[in-house]
């Protein structure tokens, strides 16, 4: 499952399942960009796992696209992880670009006033177009 990413673009890196609750698919787009596609719920159970995955990926590439199109729940723990990942990307002078993709994610970001702090793209192709 790669969301907006055509099957012939990028190189799958890894896929992690945490029970039935969340899955992460990581796809490389050359040496400078990766997409992490998150499927499922980001809550107090899964947020620490997301934090670990994002810390690894933010350190590895100048552009990390976080595709949240298939996130079905985004709680406060998940929002805190997104802010921490953005802070880490900024510290490294890397870019974390979010693809909210769903009303669930957009509403959570809007309701908390966080939408404006993130680099937002309409879709994965658009997020990757602006790389560099």
CA distance 43 to 79: 9
Asked if the structure places residue 39 within a domain, the reply is: yes
Q: Which structural domain range is residue 84 located in?
A: 29-123
- Which segments within 1-132 are labelled E, that is strand? 11-18, 22-28, 33-42, 63-74, 95-99, 119-120
CA distance 115 to 109: 5
Domain count, the chain: 1
Decide if 39 contacts 22 (C-beta within 8 A). yes
**Contacts for 10 with CB less than 8 Å, ≥ 6 apart:** 2, 27, 28, 29, 35
- Transcribe 61-85 into DSSP letters: -SEEEEEEEEEEEE-HHHHHHHHHH
Asked if the structure places residue 129 within a domain, the reply is: no
Model pLDDT, residue 8: 34
Model pLDDT, residue 21: 80
Q: What CATH number does residue 83 fall under?
A: 3.30.750.24
CA distance 128 to 34: 9
Asked if the structure places residue 98 within a domain, the reply is: yes
Asked if the structure places residue 5 within a domain, the reply is: no
CA distance 89 to 58: 6
Model pLDDT, residue 11: 44
Model pLDDT, residue 6: 37
Asked if the structure places residue 60 within a domain, the reply is: yes
Return per-residue pLDDT of the chain as tens, 132 residues.
333 333 334 444 545 554 558 999 999 999 999 999 999 999 999 999 999 999 999 999 999 999 999 999 999 999 999 999 999 999 999 999 999 999 999 999 999 999 999 999 999 999 998 665
């Amino acid at each position: 499952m790669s969301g907006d990413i055509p099957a012939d673009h990028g190189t799958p890196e890894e896929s992690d399942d945490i029970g039935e609750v969340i899955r992460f698919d990581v796809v490389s787009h050359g040496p400078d960009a990766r997409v992490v596609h998150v499927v499922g719920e980001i809550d107090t159970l899964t947020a620490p796992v997301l934090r670990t995955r994002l810390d690894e990926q933010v350190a590895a590439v100048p552009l990390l696209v976080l595709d949240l199109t298939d996130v079905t729940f985004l709680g406060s723990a998940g929002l805190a992880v997104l802010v921490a990942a953005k802070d880490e990307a900024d510290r490294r002078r890397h870019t974390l670009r979010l693809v909210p993709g769903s009303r669930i994610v957009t509403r959570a970001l809007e309701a908390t006033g966080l939408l404006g702090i993130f680099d937002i793209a309409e879709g994965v192709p658009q997020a990757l177009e602006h790389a560099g």
